Chains A and B, each alone.
Chain A
Amino acid sequence: MATAQELAVRDKKELVSKEEKTVPGRYYVPYADIYETGEALCVVMEMPGVEKKDINVALENDVLRVDGQIDFSKYEGMEPVYTEYNVGHYTRSFTLSNKIDQEKISAQLEDGVLTLTLPKAKEAQPRRISIG
């Protein structure tokens, strides 16, 4: 459907944070898709260059916080001659409205895309009410 469309370049969105970090360096906001099914809320985020071990997902007070660190030691010994984008760690947080079953959150990383499945708690799942 949408595959016929030409992909456009978007500049990476830099994180604008209320607090400053103690260490210098820029953070980027990963592009995200969020969708909901009957059982779960899914958050899909693009974090190219982040390895599985460098992803940190935390849910605290209904705030989901995802943090992905890139391993920039791979760039050692390389001298940039032409650049079109910058690299940095990724971070993004969302306030969740649904009741989430924290124990059952699962994460999957494939080709730089992180998919988080947050199953809804029993009481938040839709119930079909039949009219008697």
Chain B
Amino acid sequence: MALFPDPFDTLSSLQQALDTLRTSGWLASGPSGGGSYPPVNVFRKGDDFVVITEVPGIGKSDLEIQVKGNTIRLAGTKSVTYPEKASLHRRERLAGRFDRTVTLPVEIDPDGVKAECRDGILALFLPRAERDKPKSIRIA
């Protein structure tokens, strides 16, 4: 019926897709299968992987990202400051430090990893290592 994809349809299908995978055991073999800050979402884009995490209030300078083999370490501190002489009405934002390692079940190329941090979203682009890519075998 629809001539073009409904943008609102896309959001709810994305939300549904994200929800179904909440219980996936994809990262279960890693040292931090879940429950540590920051929460991550892992996507596959073609051959490569993208790790996305929400880090509001954490600037580029407060983040430390390390890659070794197929393990990524995300560490940093989040600070919440108030001006002097301010009286607080509501305090919901949390401050603190974090340190998380995520081990991917695929080999990644550490030299090709790119990180982008914008509007409180950190995205890590992880290219799959060439030797880990599946090869097609031609039947002779």
Contacts and interface: CB of A to CB of B under 8 A. Distances in A.
Contact of A10 (B18, B44, B80, B94): B94
B41 A83 contact: yes
A63 to B, nearest CB: 16
A51 B140 CA distance: 54
Contact of B24 (A9, A83, A88): A83
Chain B, interface SS category: mixed
Interface residues of B, number: 61
Contacts of B11: 24-25, 72, 88-89
B95 A79 contact: no
Interface string A91-131: 00000000000000000011111000000000000000000
Contacts of B21: 80-83
A68 B12 CA distance: 16
A81 B42 contact: yes
A38 B34 CA distance: 43
Interface of A: 2-10, 23-26, 31-38, 41-42, 44, 46-51, 72-73, 75-89, 109-113
Interface of B: 7-12, 14-15, 17-19, 21-22, 24, 26-27, 34-46, 49-50, 54-59, 77-80, 82-83, 85-98, 117, 119-121
